[in-house]
Structure 1
């Protein structure tokens, strides 16, 4: 058992097949165990008793998180994040994080979604109307339920509002210790999807639901401290950006392309990373610049931080945070050099080091699988297993004929 696991957690046996399933419960043929679908056994699973939270308001059911232990701990996403945080701790750093999630609500059920084409789905609200006071007041009952659900589940929010896009809501989870922040993010996504269905709605955290609408982000706010002091803050430096923060951001940008698949893990993820929608398309950083991959948010020592903007709402929070923090720690270890911040729209810059992020899941997976630094940071077994799963995901959609293709080519070709 790892040293940083608290006493009292319970070990049970659970099917290891879930580690080889894709999102449609199909077994990935070349899985981490190389076993046929009928040969999967049980593996050690650690129930994290301290994570228990009420599932809904007014009921006594609780939901607990669990992670794989023993032989499969090295490929369990939560175990990967703990490994990264131990590396940070070895340098004396304590990491704090907070997730922001955008999600879209549709006035549909699981049945009507299946029985209608997408253009017939009804979003909760029409039009963009980001930060709309009118929409927030008109949907006060809905907002009250979300706030009560989160308060009851010990998922404190620092913000809740309508975002740009029909039926889009953004929730900002309050910052806390990095591992707990990822736990809260997992609970939040699961509970919002379940809650929506009890209301006769469907919630989605897809990165891009329509090419005509903005994508759904999953930005991460991060700071690191040493002995309780914000290591990103230096009152003697420009914009209070310390040498440590510059190295941290330098590492994030250096490995943004190699580790991209951890923060953009699905085929759909790359539909979000396009110009014009405040999503990054290249390794870039700026001071309070939302077009960049990394946004520095200057403030007093208690608030000075960065925002990692690569990740979409579709991420596994443990892996996205492993990517954001792990690359930063590499930057500190390697004394990474940081170029001047971008002023203006980063997607329009033609600076010498300009290079687009991977354009699709296949390219991102190849870079990750071949990265020596990924193996060093996350472990060779995880890199192999995750790369295998992403290749499978890429292949799953390559031979599908879409409605768009039929409309575009059927008559004219």
Structure 2
């Protein structure tokens, strides 16, 4: 996409910023000369170490397995020219997304999503998706955030006040700046509002082709963090910042089409839920526990999945029921869709979407039978048919690693590599002594 490069050159810049997503959904990258990526889908070299680092840049020890790189040489990186977009905080720069190619493609998060979407296409389906992210804004800088205990961090607003028009109007300059930032970065939003919780904002990215939707989600998370820092603020997409506050979700809206028609919509069916949609949702529920780690990838993720917070506690579905893991949203043929509510704001968008669509495609292949929808609060379900979700990262990782269907859908090498990274993530946190432990045990024990 040479035409995307010319504005940067016209401003005197010969640099382009390349970004590739690691297992944790972190966008890693570097500046390169723009002429090196001007060719369509150019291949450049990039350190394979990012596929063996955790989120704090610690190398995952070799004894956790050898499915990840161990020599840390260069890997092939395919620069995706069609993803080029201006960086609003740097007007003479263009950012390009990239994906690992060659020997590393099978463990590349974007490559895994493409694999799942090809499987859907083989059945004649194309997928549309849109991400919603809740994130928390703090009136803290990169300096002050590390000098204070977390309970002294100052959020943008005090206390919960979801959908507040008063707060929105009071923060009009901030909202206008964020909307303009996203528009300039080609990350169009369908909605922006205050959510319940101090300083919590929810942004709904406009729906589009599934792969593009995941690209936008990855870029949104990284760019909003940088946007906030240029304003002397900090953003977090943690699933749960404090036990005293609600968690932060990363819901995904999904629909599928076949021959130009919404495959989830049937005007003759109850609630317009087609047989394909029944099977798709049935597959999502059937494999939700086995694939859970892709939508809840961190130790902190499972502290969000509690009763009373509009977060799922078991594989459940309902019609316009926000307490369920899958919410079917009836509408006309252009709006009829589902909302996958398992994922938190801390997800890797490529992997969370691969989880949601991959399990649904398995449901179609297996002609899964969908149980009766939940009416009322799904977290109150006592039906033995509703198996609880994994209770922690270790349990979820074990189920994923042992699942033959996970290897079938996502690839055996990826399952081994990602499971290795999650086992390390679990171990890295288990030996840390928390403030909660000190407060609870110091004097009494």
Residue number among 321, 340, 350 corresponding to 1:308 in the alignment: 340
2:262 corresponds, among 210, 223, 230, to 230
Q: Which residue of 1 aligns with 2:23?
A: none
Q: Aligned pair in 2 of structure 1 residues 387, 58: CA closer, same or farther (>3 Å)?
A: closer
Aligned residue pair count: 405
Structure 1 residue 33: deviation in Å?
Answer: 5.0
Structure 1 moving runs of 4+ over 4 Å: 31-36
Task: Tell me how far apart the structure 1 counterparts of residues 201 and 101 of structure 2 sit (CA, whole Å).
Answer: 36
Q: Which residue of 2 aligns with 1:352?
A: 384
1:114 counterpart = 2:141:
no
Q: Tell me what 2:314 maps to.
A: 282
User: Are the counterparts in 1 of residues 68 and 417 from structure 2 also a CA contact under 8 Å?
Assistant: no
Instruction: List aligned pairs for 1:166-177, cutoff 5 A.
Output: 166-177=198-209
Give 1:352 deviation, angstroms: 3.1
State the partner residue of 2:94: 62
Q: Distance in 1 between matches of 2:89 and 2:228?
A: 14
Any residues of structure 2 matched to 1:25-44 within 5 Å, and which? 25-30=57-62, 32=66, 36=70, 39-44=71-76
Q: Describe the superposition over 1:130-189 as per-residue Cα deviations: whole angstroms up to 9, x where unpaired.
A: 000001000000000110011111111110000000000000000000000000001100
Q: Structure 2: which 5+ runs fail to align?
A: 1-38
Instruction: Give the whole-Å Cα distance in 1 for the aligned partners of 2:95 and 2:44.
Output: 16
Displacement after TM superposition at 1:62 (Å): 1.3
Give the alignment's TM-score, normalised by structure 2: 0.90
1:95 aligns with 2:127: yes
Matches within 5 A, 1:216-255: 216-255=248-287
In structure 1, list runs of 5 or more residues that go unmatched: 1-6
Q: Which deviates further from its counterpart, 79-88 or 149-158? A: 149-158
CA distance in 1, matches of 2:61, 2:42: 31
- Which residue in 1 is equivalent to 2:159? 127
Kindly indicate whether residue 350 of structure 2 is the aligned counterpart of residue 318 of structure 1: yes
By how many angstroms is 1:57 displaced? 5.3
Q: Distance in 1 between matches of 2:377 and 2:370?
A: 18
CA distance in 1, matches of 2:217, 2:369: 32
Deviation at residue 58 of structure 1 after TM alignment: 6.8
Do structure 1's residue 375 and structure 2's residue 412 form an aligned pair? no
| Structure 2 counterpart of 1:149 | 181
1:4 paired residue number: none
Instruction: Provide the aligned C-alpha RMSD in A.
Output: 1.0
Q: Equivalent residue of 2:143, what SS?
A: helix
Q: Does 1:14 align with 2:46?
A: yes
